[in-house]
Amino acid sequence: MRTRHLLTSRPHPVLLSIVIPIYHEQNALPYLGERLTLCLPFFGCETEVLLVNDGSVDDSLDHLVRWAQEERCVRVLNFARNFGHQAACTAGMDEARGEAVVLIDADLQDPPEVIADMLVEYRKGYDVVYGKRTSREGETAFKRLTAWAFYRLMRRLIHPDLPADVGDFRLISRSCLDAVKSMRETHRFLRGMITWVGFPQTAVTYARSARMAGETKYPISKMLRLAWTAAVSFSPKPLRVSFLLGFMVAAIGIAQAVNAVIRSSRLYVVPGWSSSIVVTCLIGGAILISIGVLGEYVGRIFEASKERPIYLIASRVEPEPVAVQMAALARMGAEHDR
């Protein structure tokens, strides 16, 4: 059950930051630049575009540098290596200067035109406005089924308020962003973190388009890895499941023991070999599974205890914003008048 909030209308943001993680998107970047450039005038405020290159080995970085040289609103952060999608989003959120920040992927499956609708909800007082998919064009039935199961499983394991059929595409206010930035966990699941901090949240719906170019960066294997990371990082439920598994195995062992006693009381010779092997394998398997789950938690505690940075930035392309230039010129003019 969601907390009720008092909504207070707010003005349009003076500066909007759009954070886009990039990983092997050389084919999609020309389309992204053209589409986003067309959308910027409709947002009704000054906009900065933060492009985070997550260790791409293709020509993505060259495209990003050219884009930054052509458009003064574009800033590029280049990672020292591949740190992952969630780390790239985190870097963009850390560097964003806007009063409102939008997370969006580079493949144009999440249309940038929806940002205008998000800003309408932002002005109503919502601190998080996420994009909710009503359809998924260009995806197989298997992909749609696994995505449906993924979101429902995450609601069970992480947080009951985690919105279904919602990715990382969302607008976040500065107050909510500051709360999320205070959470410096090593293993990150931003959708769960943003849900956990609370704040007024709402959705805008849209039809998800087919990928403009390139290949998906989230095949089923990566989706399962993200689900496991989210579950172990956010919830003790896997440990509870292993406890339940141990209880079930113990119940099977007790049932086998009762069965052997009953058969012995009827003067029936119990061979015992098959039942012993079954029980031994079940108990051994349950113990190994439980140790493995526990080991995942211990391993993550070990990694977090090192306090290594979430990401490392190797280089930047950051043209001075026009607003900063204007302010500097105004200061120089005032000093000259004196």
State phi, psi for 306 to the nearest 5 degrees: -70, -25
Please tell me which residue, 10 or 213, carries the higher pLDDT value: 10
Q: And the tokens for 248?
A: 């079930």
Residue that the structure tokens 């997550």 belong to: 54
Same domain, 142 and 291: no
Same domain, 230 and 325: yes
CATH label of the domain that carries residue 62: 3.90.550.10
Lowest mean pLDDT among 64-68, 78-82, 126-130, 216-220: 216-220
Q: What angle do CA 151, 155, 159 make, to 5 degrees?
A: 140
Same domain, 105 and 157: yes
Is it the case that residue 24 has pLDDT exceeding 60? Answer: yes
Is it the case that residue 336 has pLDDT exceeding 60? Answer: no
Other CB atoms closer than 10 Å to residue 241's CB: what's the count?
A: 15
2 domain-assigned: no
Same domain, 105 and 217: yes
User: In 3D, which of 311, 105, 141 has the Cα closest to residue 217?
Assistant: 105
Per-residue model confidence (pLDDT) at position 324:
44
Instruction: Give how many domains the chain has, as a whole number.
Output: 2
118 domain-assigned: yes
Q: And the tokens for 306?
A: 């090192």
Q: d(Cα 87, Cα 318) in Å, to the nearest integer?
A: 20
247 domain-assigned: yes
Strand partners, 74: 49
Long-range contacts of 298-301 (CB under 8 A, 24+ apart): 300/186, 300/187, 300/232, 300/233
What is the β-pairing status of strands 15-22 and 46-53? parallel
Average pLDDT, whole number, for the chain? 78
Output Rg (C-alpha) for the chain, integer angstroms: 26
Which range of residues forms the domain containing residue 273?
237-305
Question: From its phi and psi, is residue 200 left (phi > 0), alpha (psi between -120 and 50) or beta?
Answer: beta
Is it the case that residue 98 has pLDDT exceeding 70? Answer: yes
